[in-house]
Amino acid sequence: EAGVTQFPSHSVIEKGQTVTLRCDPISGHDNLYWYRRVMGKEIKFLLHFVKESKQDESGMPNNRFLAERTGGTYSTLKVQPAELEDSGVYFCASSHRGGRPYNEQFFGPGTRLTVL
Amino acid sequence: AQSVTQLGSHVSVSEGALVLLRCNYSSSVPPYLFWYVQYPNQGLQLLLKYTTGATLVKGINGFEAEFKKSETSFHLTKPSAHMSDAAEYFCAVSEGTSGTYKYIFGTGTRLKVLA
């Protein structure tokens, strides 16, 4: 069974540009999460999809970030326009069921975003 | 809101020595606690989790953790470190309400194993 995949693995862009990150969850997993780790700090929750619906987007930093999950399969996270403080590692995770606090989330390797 | 504190951003141990990675949590409700490990260029992988019941939890690769409510701790241990244990370790607590839960992570501890 393939794990969670993320593309690209690295992205270097200039301030003001647009970047789109992609996440493919494990097949059959309805729940998809985005997290971010700014260098040296903790991994922080961004948002949670159940199928194509946003269940919780309380962690999204501002309206420069747009997440979508059309058709309930893969998800994209667009940053437009990117700022220096957006640099970090963006993780995607998925789980089969999200309605229990003890459910395991399966993580992808992350996308390292550097904004210059 | 719940929180997690990991003491020591970097820990070094000799091969064969005891591994002890510390995690303390803050929670107003019974916590669900997790330890994840990240090897270079890989995603986070679940080592073990505490839900309810037995307070000593055994995980993969010889790791275990003990939930101590009185100390609000969930420290990760392994009796004998192996070179392959070198990685970054994250403690997390699950937070949310019915239908949606998210992880609250600590800042991570990078383990170095010395030959």
B40-96 confidence digits (pLDDT tens): 888 999 999 999 888 999 999 999 999 999 999 999 999 999 999 999 999 999 988
**Mean pLDDT estimate for chain B:** 93
Q: Please report, as a single letter, which amino acid is at residue A25.
A: P
Length, in residues, of chain B? 115
Interchain pair A33, B102: CB under 8 A: yes
Q: Please give the structure tokens belonging to residue B58.
A: 């055994």
Which of A47, A92, A102 would you mutate first to test chain B, the one with the most B CBs within 10 A? A102
**What pLDDT score does B97 carry?**
80
**What pLDDT score does A93 carry?**
96
The answer to whether the CB of A51 falls within 8 A of the CB of A44 is no
Distance (Å, whole) CA B17 – CA A39: 29
Mean pLDDT (whole number) for B4-12: 95
Q: Is the pLDDT of residue B98 over 80?
A: no
- Residue with structure tokens 């239908």? B99
Which of B50, B103, B109, B110 would you mutate first to test chain A, the one with the most A CBs within 10 A? B103
Per-residue pLDDT of chain A (116 residues; tens, 9 = 90+): 689 999 999 999 999 999 999 999 999 999 999 999 998 899 999 999 999 999 999 999 999 999 999 888 999 999 999 999 999 999 999 998 767 888 899 999 999 999 99
A with B: how many residue pairs have Cβ under 8 Å apart? 66
Mean pLDDT (whole number) for B21-29: 91
Q: Does B72 touch chain A (CB under 8 A)?
A: no
**What pLDDT score does A96 carry?**
86
Interchain pair A104, B46: CB under 8 A: yes
Query: B53: which chain A residues are within 8 Å (Cβ-Cβ)?
Result: none
The answer to whether the CB of B14 falls within 8 A of the CB of B112 is no
For residue B101, give Cα distances in angstroms to A31, A46, A102, B98, B112: 10, 12, 9, 8, 32
Q: Please report, as a single letter, which amino acid is at residue B77.
A: T
Distance from B23 to chain A by nearest Cα, in Å? Answer: 13
CB-based contacts of A35, cutoff 8 Å, min separation 6: A43, A44, A45, A46, A90, A91, A92, A93, B103, B105
**Mean pLDDT estimate for chain A:** 94
**For B33-46, b where at least 16 C-beta lie within 10 A, e where not — what string?**
bbbbbbeeeebbbb
Distance (Å, whole) CA A77 – CA A88: 14
Give residues 43 to 102 of A whose Cβ lies within 8 Å of B.
Answer: 43-45, 48, 50, 55-56, 59, 91, 93, 98-102
